[in-house]
Amino acid sequence: MNSAGQFSVSQFDAGLLYVCPEIFLGLAACAILMLDLLLTDAQRRWTGVLAVVALLITAVLVAVQSVPVKIVALGGLFELDRMALVLKVVTLLVVAAVFVYSTEYLQRRAILKGEYYVLGLLATLGAMVLISAASLITLYLGLELMSLCLYAMVAFDRESGIAAESAIKYFVLGSIASGTLLYGMSIVYGVTGSLDFAPIAAAVSSGLGDNIGLIFGIAFIIVGVGFKFGAVPFHMWIPDVYEGSPTCVTVFIGTASKIAAFALAMRLLPEALGGAQPDWGQMLVVLAVLSMAIGNVVAIAQSNIKRMLAYSTISHVGYVLLGILSGTPQGYQAAMFYMISYVIVASGAFGMVLLLARQGFEADRIVDFRGLNARSPWFAGMMAILMFSLAGLPPFVGFWAKLGVVQAVLAVHYTWLAVVAVLFSVVGAFFYLRIVKLMYFDEPTDTATIGGSMLMRTVLSANALLGFGLGVLPGTLLQICQQALQ
């Protein structure tokens, strides 16, 4: 339906042009699924190669789309703005990197199956649909497509009991979250009488702001968003799922799905419910403070690096929420910059865990990083860059992310929140430093040579160096985020 309430076939057809990256990716996923049947196990690597190529082509297709400001297509279901373009390109590139990191890991565990890539591609497609949603229906559709693929990916290693357990947990909690979100959406629909964001936004800002029904709906939406983000108190699934999943799936959940969660929050809260910012802003304050506190403090007690990174994700989500809750364009830009930089750094950190893993050895304990500097000074340096960046130290990209969100909350006079945020980042610095300490100050207990194909090593190094490069010259990425959300 367009805003006039009429449906025109010719307009719909014209709109298909804007969806062509998504269509391409969907077709590519189907084609790869079919092709995979024809390959023998020895040739299975080619599935991964094709999947990466498909992602890169899609990224190019997205990047060449020119968007004046905002296009709403397909009868008001699909929207393309600069934020959507940037987030899609980042998602596609990150997933491509994840596939590169995963291949050897899958091979060594004898679980290199084409389905991993196909599910990954479809999850990416879901994320793209979600990012471009202009209506509650599309949003939910994209979210569920992504989530269902992720549940299957977590359970992908059939032999592993812990993976099956995580998958059940993830599925049950994820379904509850989706249900809650859907319930909130239905209330919003009931109050505003529309499913499309533009009419909802118009209704909310024209005096529905303190409608008790709307606030009720928003509360449910916040719960759903909080679940998908993994913000405290809806974070319970994160550590278990991160630890239980095969590492190559953890990195997928930890990166691509976080961008999708960010898009979910941005589409629902500022775009559709912008008029009710004072309401959801206050709810997010609670979520943000709790996430920063619990995430940073509990991470200290972890001995498993995947669990540690899980709690670190939770704390970083708290910082992203700081940007969103400020309710200003600067805040949204800062949150977007934070999310992108976090995803870049986190994919590198999980990539390092994948690099150190080998046959029968997961390298998922923190002590497995002991003495890495003696084994490989180069990769110890890369990991140090990633850790300092997560800790938010200059001159690494994480610093600018933190600077942006702290600036955003100070601009709306939440000085106490800014102080809380920086104090918890000191707590956070401790456990990132512990990894640096293990790598540099301790002697290695494990002297196996570090594997990894040339391609993986190159991509991983480039990924980590990006965390340094964007830290020295963050101007371009900051500008991209600024243009994306003006």
Partner 1 sequence: MMFHEHLLSLLICVPIIGGFIALTLNDRNAKWLALIVSGASLLLCVPLYASFKTGTADMQFVERSPWISTIHSEFYIGVDGISMPLILLTTFTTVLVVIASWVNVHKRIAQYFAAFLILEGLMIGVFAALDGVLFYVFWEAMLIPMFIIIGVWGGPRRVYATIKFFLYTFIGSLLMLVALIYLYLKSGSYELAVFQRMPLSLTEQTFIFLAFLAAFAVKVPMWPVHTWLPDAHVEAPTGGSVVLAAVMLKMGGYGFLRLSLPIAPDAGRELDGLIIALSLIAVVYIGLVALVQRDMKKLIAYSSIAHMGFVTLGLFIGFQIVGHTGRTSGIELGIDGAVVQMLSHGLVSGAMFLCVGVMYDRVHSREISDYGGVVNTMPKFAAFMVLFALANAAVPGTSGFVGEFLVILASFKANVWYSFLAGTTLVLGAAYTLWLVKRVIFGAVGNDKVAALEDLNGREFFVLGMLAAGVVLVGIYPAPLLDAMRSSTQHLAEQMLVSKIVP
Residue selected from 199, 209, 274, 395 as contacting partner 1 according to rule CB under 8 A: 395
Question: Does 193 interact with partner 1 (rule: CB under 8 A)?
Answer: no
Rounded-to-integer distance, Cα 363 and Cα 382, Å: 17
Smallest CA-to-CA distance from 477 within 336, 378, 358, 366 is with 336
Rounded-to-integer distance, Cα 125 and Cα 54, Å: 12
CA pseudo-torsion sign 113, 115, 119, 124: positive
Question: Does 361 interact with partner 1 (rule: CB under 8 A)?
Answer: no
Smallest CA-to-CA distance from 202 within 138, 280, 276 is with 276
Nearer to partner 1, 30 or 426 (CB): 426
Residue selected from 110, 172, 301, 419 as contacting partner 1 according to rule CB under 8 A: 419
Nearer to partner 1, 369 or 388 (CB): 388
Residue selected from 422, 448, 453, 458 as contacting partner 1 according to rule CB under 8 A: 422
Segment interacting with partner 1, rule: CB under 8 A, options 13-21, 22-30, 83-91, 476-484:
476-484
- Identity of the amino acid at 212: I
- Mode of pairing for the β-strands spanning 70-73 and 78-81: antiparallel
The least distance separating partner 1 from the CB of residue 90, rounded to whole angstroms, comes to 18
Nearer to partner 1, 252 or 369 (CB): 369
Question: Does 376 interact with partner 1 (rule: CB under 8 A)?
Answer: no
Question: Does 479 interact with partner 1 (rule: CB under 8 A)?
Answer: yes
Smallest CA-to-CA distance from 329 within 270, 278, 401 is with 270
CB 99 within 8 A of CB 119: no
Smallest CA-to-CA distance from 229 within 321, 366, 150, 149 is with 321
Question: Does 478 interact with partner 1 (rule: CB under 8 A)?
Answer: yes
The least distance separating partner 1 from the CB of residue 428, rounded to whole angstroms, comes to 10
The residues in 326-345 that bind partner 1, with binding defined as CB under 8 A, are 333
Q: How many residues does the chain have?
A: 486
Residue selected from 301, 377, 458, 462 as contacting partner 1 according to rule CB under 8 A: 377
Count of residues of this chain found to bind partner 1 when the rule CB under 8 A is applied: 35
Q: How far is CA 360 from CA 99, 107, 365, 406, in A?
A: 21, 12, 14, 43
**Burial class of residue 216 (count of CB atoms within 10 Å of its CB; 0-12, 13-18, 19+):** middle
Task: Give the H or E element holding residue 92.
Answer: helix 82-108
Rounded-to-integer distance, Cα 329 and Cα 30, Å: 39
Question: Does 369 interact with partner 1 (rule: CB under 8 A)?
Answer: no
Segment interacting with partner 1, rule: CB under 8 A, options 129-137, 175-183, 345-353, 403-411:
403-411
Rounded-to-integer distance, Cα 353 and Cα 209, Å: 47
Segment interacting with partner 1, rule: CB under 8 A, options 49-57, 107-115, 296-304, 475-483:
475-483
Q: How far is CA 385 from CA 119, 355, 421, in A?
A: 31, 16, 22
Nearer to partner 1, 168 or 411 (CB): 411
- Map residues 212-241 to x or -, x wherever contact with partner 1 holds by CB under 8 A: ------------------------------
Residue selected from 303, 359, 415, 486 as contacting partner 1 according to rule CB under 8 A: 415
Question: Does 209 interact with partner 1 (rule: CB under 8 A)?
Answer: no
Nearer to partner 1, 242 or 399 (CB): 399
Rounded-to-integer distance, Cα 163 and Cα 169, Å: 10
Backbone angles phi, psi at 73, to 5 degrees: -130, 180
Smallest CA-to-CA distance from 126 within 150, 151, 143 is with 143
Nearer to partner 1, 126 or 428 (CB): 428
CB 279 within 8 A of CB 218: yes
Question: Does 57 interact with partner 1 (rule: CB under 8 A)?
Answer: no
Question: Does 301 interact with partner 1 (rule: CB under 8 A)?
Answer: no
Question: Does 482 interact with partner 1 (rule: CB under 8 A)?
Answer: yes
- Identity of the amino acid at 482: Q
Dihedral-angle region of residue 230 (phi above 0 means left; psi in -120 to 50 means alpha; beta otherwise): left
Question: Does 169 interact with partner 1 (rule: CB under 8 A)?
Answer: no
> How distant is the alpha carbon of residue 188 from its chain centre?
26
Question: Does 373 interact with partner 1 (rule: CB under 8 A)?
Answer: yes
> How distant is the alpha carbon of residue 300 from its chain centre?
23
The least distance separating partner 1 from the CB of residue 377, rounded to whole angstroms, comes to 7
Question: Does 297 interact with partner 1 (rule: CB under 8 A)?
Answer: no
The least distance separating partner 1 from the CB of residue 404, rounded to whole angstroms, comes to 8
CB 280 within 8 A of CB 218: yes
The residues in 441-470 that bind partner 1, with binding defined as CB under 8 A, are 441
Question: Does 433 interact with partner 1 (rule: CB under 8 A)?
Answer: yes
Question: Does 34 interact with partner 1 (rule: CB under 8 A)?
Answer: no
Question: Does 379 interact with partner 1 (rule: CB under 8 A)?
Answer: no
Q: List contacts with partner 1 (CB under 8 A).
A: 333, 373, 377, 381, 388, 393-395, 399-400, 403-404, 406-407, 410-411, 415, 418-419, 422-423, 425-426, 429-430, 433, 436-437, 440-441, 474-475, 478-479, 482
